[in-house]
Amino acid sequence: MKKLIVLSAIAALTSGAALADSINLGAAVQSVCGVSNTETVKYFPALALGNSATVNFNLQCNDVDGATISLTTSEGHLQNSDNEDMGVGYTAALSAGPFAFTLTADDGANDQSASQSQAGTAALAAGGLAGTILVTVTQTPTWSGTYADTLTLGITAN
């Protein structure tokens, strides 16, 4: 009987049967989506129809589905400090790699936005996507005083 058990064990070990197990591997890469190197203050030396100013920035978003870029005007125009309804209109034309769109802020309606979605690219994921916003005055100012608006540049993963 002992010989039979020993022979059965030897036969099982030499029969070519493979013993295997699965190993599941995994990892994660943190999502990074943001704007950097932004000029946070841009002042028009003279506020006149057709005058423009350029704002530079960099984008990064490592989501394979890409990103949505948005521009939002807080005041809906360059608001006069003495009377918020007496503003001056402008456009903000964004250009960064595949992104290209324009926000029009000329009616004083608060929190207006323009946005665009694009697929992910290696340049966008690496953070090397440089862009500009060309802000152009579209109306002639009538009233004296200072004018201001807050333009928000946002990026979110798709």
- The CA distance from 138 to 51, in Å, is 8
Cα–Cα distance, 59 to 134 (Å, whole number): 16
Tokens of 65: 């589905």
Q: What is the pLDDT of residues 71-82, one digit of tens each?
A: 999 999 999 988
Domain 31-157 fold: Jelly Rolls (2.60.120)
The label of the residue with tokens 């006149």 reads: 48
Q: 0.85 cut: is pTM over it?
A: no
Which parts of 74-121 fold into alpha helices (H)? none
Region 148-158: mean pLDDT is 96
Q: Among 34-43, 58-67, 106-115, whose mean pLDDT is lowest?
A: 34-43
Query: Which of 11-25, 27-41, 57-71, 116-130 is predicted with the least confidence, judged by mean pLDDT?
Result: 11-25
The domain segmentation of the chain, as residue ranges, is 31-157
Q: Which amino acid is at 127?
A: G
